Amino acid sequence: MSSGPVFLGLDLGGTNVKAGVVSDSGEVLSSASVPTSGSHGPDYGVQQIATAGRLAVEQAGLRVSQIAAVGLATPGTMDIPSGMLLDPTNLPGWQNYPIRQRVSEVLGLPTVLQNDANAAAYGEYWAGQARHVRSLAFYTLGTGLGGGLIVDDHIIEGEHSHGAELGHVILEMQNGRLCNTGQYGTAEAYVSATALLKSFREHLNAGTPTSVRQRLQSGEELSPKLIADEAEAGDQLALELILDMARYLGVTITTAVHVIDPAMVLLGGAMTFGRDETRVGRTFLERVREEFRRRSFPVLAEKTVITWASLGSNAGFIGAAGCARRALNLRRIP
Amino acid sequence: MSSGPVFLGLDLGGTNVKAGVVSDSGEVLSSASVPTSGSHGPDYGVQQIATAGRLAVEQAGLRVSQIAAVGLATPGTMDIPSGMLLDPTNLPGWQNYPIRQRVSEVLGLPTVLQNDANAAAYGEYWAGQARHVRSLAFYTLGTGLGGGLIVDDHIIEGEHSHGAELGHVILEMQNGRLCNTGQYGTAEAYVSATALLKSFREHLNAGTPTSVRQRLQSGEELSPKLIADEAEAGDQLALELILDMARYLGVTITTAVHVIDPAMVLLGGAMTFGRDETRVGRTFLERVREEFRRRSFPVLAEKTVITWASLGSNAGFIGAAGCARRALNLRRIP
């Protein structure tokens, strides 16, 4: 185990909270996951968060008092500086909840709050795929399309804690698809599990031939994983819709890169189609890059690196721990 | 005159170079403008730049040796850290030119290079309309659509000196208009003098009734100013095309705000339609705000300030001076 202070990272999701103890150099010393349910309300939720944290600390062979600081990553709208959840869609009953203060009280440790996608981005920047570059745009592909931006060790949190809503750039100003948030033509309406399933269902209803139909008839549920599997096995429609999404993501990235010009763009999250392990994953990434190259300034087309994130579902708690470390004014080791 | 160090700002444009001596608190102590011509090549250009600089210093009642540092703002593709112009479109013959070093040699002063739109943004942030906020997105409306981003006193220069190309976010992914840069559907293809004149000519050719036609027949040349004047005088087509542009600009801003979430968005540059002095200017700004509010997240729709920049054509040299000051590690006075 490396010397120096250690940090506790907590990543609150819709169904569980992940916790991990992380060293000063970004090494994961332990991790734990505890199921949680937003519907039991915030006070119960905070207990579950603390339980996950204590479990991780114990598994690292440490006492809570040996943790230098805690980083907490959560979804939903929030005010990062004051540590308040404002109106988190997936956590009913948590409106205007001082979550940072409550977690800090229960664990008895200084705690910082961060948006979950920002935290995952910082994880990749501090200890993952982007650890050797100066700036990063990070996309998390899941139910929605989240994002995080890091520039020179600075998290772009935004004036109203709405920085790096990278899934809410507008791709189609006219006749754009409707997004969950009520906006039209945003990236998330084209690039997300929600969007993929919606498009696929439209094709199923229209009678487009696809091997997916048989699997649904045998009782399976439509999911990005099922669609990706059938694409890998040769289904034309499945592959087409996945590559359509890649093309939209390429445009989404072009727009963000023209705003920020980061050294690296990373794709993470649950919906990454097997990444380099599958033909579909590789083709998806290549199509994203092609669309980006076709649309961006020449120097960016040539030099901007677009690739997979490397920390998987640990990125959130690692990054949260990194944010705690950063709050103590420790910068990334160059 | 305020005490403390003073700085020389230089702003190289297509037809002239503006220079000004600026105090430590962002006050303009003198300014000068010298015509220049990119077509005479860089060595002549550097002499003109130095002449403008010396004139400004003299007018401030100072000697060149009393200047702490020089900031130079230029258009075109560049490598900011190394101070090189790479391939500036409007400056033929200036390819791969070490402009920072040459200006520094000729004036005998430490010099920093900055992109002109970034410099103007920093001017507004340091000493203009945005001087009391923490973050800014700045648009310069002219022949093209330029941009600059400042977050916590940090200029978003980008990894490849392509940060804040705010005019190159994509508004229309399919069937987008062609932009000067060869990209399709970018903001600049809809929001720029070039775009406005192109649309207007299409309407003239199609025979759409407009009072502009008479002015052209009496020998005047089509310009954004002429179109704005006729709109102010009641011409329907002129007003419609200007407000169309406002709508596109509102979408452009929504996308950038969802990436960065700045406290303030400022509109500057030569094509601002008389700003609050005219009905057209006021209606333009109101239409931009409406479109932004309609498309952005509720908290941003409510809180993000969109208004006119305040430094006019001085923003470039003031900001360049501010960049010189910043290079000495002097932050904006809080």
Question: Which of B77, B157, B299 lies closest to A160 in CB terms?
Answer: B299
Looking at residue B191, its amino acid is: V
The residue in chain B having the minimum alpha-carbon distance to the alpha carbon of residue A190 is B173
Looking at residue B323, its amino acid is: C
Checking if the pLDDT of B88 tops 90, the result is no
Question: Which of A154, A166, A300 lies closest to B154 in CB terms?
Answer: A154
Residues B135, A158: C-beta atoms closer than 8 Å = yes
Contacts of B181 in chain A (CB under 8 A): 297
User: Per the domain annotation, does B179 fall within a domain?
Assistant: yes
Residues A172, B168: C-beta atoms closer than 8 Å = no
The residues near A78 (Cβ < 8 Å, ≥ 6 apart) are A84, A85, A86, A88, A113, A115, A161
CB of B221 within 8 Å of any CB in chain A? no
Same domain, B239 and B276: yes
**Contact between residue B317 and residue B2 where contact means Cβ atoms under 8 Å apart:** no
**Tell me: the pLDDT tens digits for A86-145?**
988 778 888 999 999 999 999 999 999 999 999 999 999 999 999 999 999 999 999 999
Question: Which of B174, B254, B303 lies closest to A160 in CB terms?
Answer: B303
Q: How many whole angstroms separate alpha carbon A48 and alpha carbon A282?
A: 38
Encoding tokens for residue A170? 């507008």
Q: Residue A114 is part of a domain; what is its CATH number?
A: 3.30.420.40
Q: How many whole angstroms separate alpha carbon B148 and alpha carbon A266?
A: 24
Q: How many whole angstroms separate alpha carbon A314 and alpha carbon A298?
A: 35
Work out the number of other CB atoms within 10 angstroms of the CB of residue B62.
17
The mean pLDDT value for A281-291 works out to 98
Q: How many whole angstroms separate alpha carbon A281 and alpha carbon A308?
A: 10
User: Per the domain annotation, does A64 fall within a domain?
Assistant: yes
Q: How many whole angstroms separate alpha carbon B6 and alpha carbon B61?
A: 12
Question: What's the pTM?
Answer: 0.96
Q: How many whole angstroms separate alpha carbon A279 and alpha carbon A269?
A: 18
CA distance A103 to chain B (A): 26
Q: How many residues make up chain B in this entry?
A: 334
Same domain, A256 and A271: yes
**Contact between residue B114 and residue B319 where contact means Cβ atoms under 8 Å apart:** yes
Tell me the percentage of chain B whose pLDDT exceeds 90: 88
Same domain, B138 and B34: no
Band of the pLDDT at B2, cuts 50, 70, 90? Answer: low
Torsion sign across C-alpha atoms B98, B99, B103, B108? negative
Same domain, B148 and B292: yes
Contacts of A151 in chain B (CB under 8 A): 151, 154, 156
Checking if the pLDDT of A332 tops 70, the result is no
Q: How many whole angstroms separate alpha carbon A86 and alpha carbon A115?
A: 12
Same domain, A146 and A51: no
- Integer angstrom CA distances of residue B113 from A223, A327, B110, B249: 51, 32, 10, 29
Encoding tokens for residue A42? 């915030």
What's residue B331's pLDDT? Answer: 63
Q: How many whole angstroms separate alpha carbon A271 and alpha carbon A91?
A: 22
Mean of pLDDT over chain B:
95
CB of B261 within 8 Å of any CB in chain A? yes
Question: Which of B166, B254, B260 lies closest to A158 in CB terms?
Answer: B260
Checking if the pLDDT of B229 tops 60, the result is yes
Locus of tokens 């083709």: A283
The residues near A206 (Cβ < 8 Å, ≥ 6 apart) are none
Contacts of B255 in chain A (CB under 8 A): 169-170, 255, 259
User: Per the domain annotation, does B1 fall within a domain?
Assistant: no
Question: Which of B149, B181, B258 lies closest to A165 in CB terms?
Answer: B258
**Tell me: the pLDDT tens digits for B277-292?**
999 999 999 999 999 9
The residue in chain B having the minimum alpha-carbon distance to the alpha carbon of residue A151 is B156
Encoding tokens for residue B78? 């560049």
Q: What is the DSSP string of A17-48?
A: EEEEEEETTS-EEEEEEEE--GGG-HHHHHHH
Same domain, B94 and B162: no
What's residue A3's pLDDT? Answer: 74
The mean pLDDT value for A307-326 works out to 97
The mean pLDDT value for B33-56 works out to 89
Contacts of B132 in chain A (CB under 8 A): none
User: Per the domain annotation, does A333 fall within a domain?
Assistant: no
Residues B158, A295: C-beta atoms closer than 8 Å = no
CB of A81 within 8 Å of any CB in chain B? no
For residue A93, the 8-state DSSP code is T
Residues 126-165 (A) with a CB less than 8 A from some CB of B: 133-135, 149, 151-152, 154, 156-165
Band of the pLDDT at B332, cuts 50, 70, 90? Answer: low
Contacts of A149 in chain B (CB under 8 A): 259
Checking if the pLDDT of B3 tops 90, the result is no
Checking if the pLDDT of A334 tops 60, the result is no
What's residue B287's pLDDT? Answer: 98
**Tell me: the pLDDT tens digits for B182-215?**
889 999 999 999 999 999 999 999 999 999 999 9
What's residue A333's pLDDT? Answer: 60
**Tell me: the pLDDT tens digits for B116-146?**
999 999 999 999 999 999 999 999 999 999 9
Domain of residue A23 covers 6-124+313-327
Locus of tokens 């969802």: B258
Residues B164, A259: C-beta atoms closer than 8 Å = yes
Same domain, A264 and A323: no
Q: H helices within chain B, ranges in order?
A: 42-59, 99-107, 116-127, 193-206, 212-217, 224-232, 236-260, 279-295, 298-303, 315-327
CB of A265 within 8 Å of any CB in chain B? no
What's residue B92's pLDDT? Answer: 80
Checking if the pLDDT of B108 tops 70, the result is yes
User: Per the domain annotation, does A263 fall within a domain?
Assistant: yes
Same domain, B109 and B180: no
For helices B236-260 and B224-232, the axis angle rounded to 10 degrees is 110
The residues near A69 (Cβ < 8 Å, ≥ 6 apart) are A5, A7, A8, A109, A110, A111, A112, A324, A325, A327, A328
Q: How many whole angstroms separate alpha carbon A103 and alpha carbon A83?
A: 10
What's residue B333's pLDDT? Answer: 61
Q: Is A202 exposed, middle or buried (0-12, 13-18, 19+ CB in 10 A)?
A: exposed
CA distance A90 to chain B (A): 17
What's residue A265's pLDDT? Answer: 98
Checking if the pLDDT of A330 tops 70, the result is no
User: Per the domain annotation, does B333 fall within a domain?
Assistant: no
User: Which of B156, B175, B258, B291 has the most A C-beta neighbours within 10 Å, making it the best mutation to test the interface with A?
Assistant: B258
- Integer angstrom CA distances of residue A302 from A201, A294, B44: 37, 10, 33
Same domain, B304 and B320: no
Contacts of A294 in chain B (CB under 8 A): none
3 state DSSP class of A307: strand
**Contact between residue B129 and residue B100 where contact means Cβ atoms under 8 Å apart:** no
CB of B326 within 8 Å of any CB in chain A? no
CA distance B252 to chain A (A): 8
The residues near B312 (Cβ < 8 Å, ≥ 6 apart) are B268
What's residue B38's pLDDT? Answer: 57
Work out the number of other CB atoms within 10 angstroms of the CB of residue A177.
17
Locus of tokens 């199923």: A204
Looking at residue A206, its amino acid is: A
User: Which of A162, A180, A304 has the most B C-beta neighbours within 10 Å, making it the best mutation to test the interface with B?
Assistant: A162
3 state DSSP class of B268: strand
More confident residue, A317 or A182: A317
Same domain, B142 and B269: yes
Torsion sign across C-alpha atoms A297, A301, A304, A306? positive
Looking at residue A287, its amino acid is: R
What's residue A182's pLDDT? Answer: 85
Residues 4-63 (B) with a CB less than 8 A from some CB of A: none
Contacts of B293 in chain A (CB under 8 A): none
The distance in angstroms from the start CA to the end CA of chain A is 20
Give how many domains chain A has, as a whole number: 2
What's residue B179's pLDDT? Answer: 86
Band of the pLDDT at A38, cuts 50, 70, 90? Answer: low
What's residue B90's pLDDT? Answer: 76
Looking at residue B140, its amino acid is: T
Same domain, B254 and B304: yes
Same domain, A298 and A184: yes
What's residue A307's pLDDT? Answer: 98
The mean pLDDT value for B210-222 works out to 97
Q: How many whole angstroms separate alpha carbon B160 and alpha carbon B182?
A: 19
**Tell me: the pLDDT tens digits for A233-267?**
999 999 999 999 999 999 999 999 999 999 999 99
The residues near A273 (Cβ < 8 Å, ≥ 6 apart) are A224, A228, A231, A242, A280, A281, A284
What's residue B34's pLDDT? Answer: 95
What's residue B328's pLDDT? Answer: 86
Q: How many whole angstroms separate alpha carbon B10 and alpha carbon B49?
A: 7
Q: How many whole angstroms separate alpha carbon A142 and alpha carbon B30?
A: 56
3 state DSSP class of B15: coil
The residue in chain A having the minimum alpha-carbon distance to the alpha carbon of residue B187 is A255
3 state DSSP class of B70: strand
User: Per the domain annotation, does B334 fall within a domain?
Assistant: no
Q: How many whole angstroms separate alpha carbon B138 and alpha carbon B117?
A: 8
Locus of tokens 């997979």: A308
Q: How many whole angstroms separate alpha carbon A183 and alpha carbon A76?
A: 17
The mean pLDDT value for B238-249 works out to 98
The mean pLDDT value for A205-225 works out to 97
User: Per the domain annotation, does A129 fall within a domain?
Assistant: no
The residue in chain B having the minimum alpha-carbon distance to the alpha carbon of residue A148 is B259
Strands (E), chain A: 6-12, 16-23, 28-35, 67-74, 78-79, 84-85, 111-115, 135-141, 145-151, 154-155, 264-268, 305-308
CB of B295 within 8 Å of any CB in chain A? yes
Q: How many whole angstroms separate alpha carbon B73 and alpha carbon B70?
A: 10
CA distance B137 to chain A (A): 10
User: Which of B85, B115, B151, B170 has the most A C-beta neighbours within 10 Å, making it the best mutation to test the interface with A?
Assistant: B170
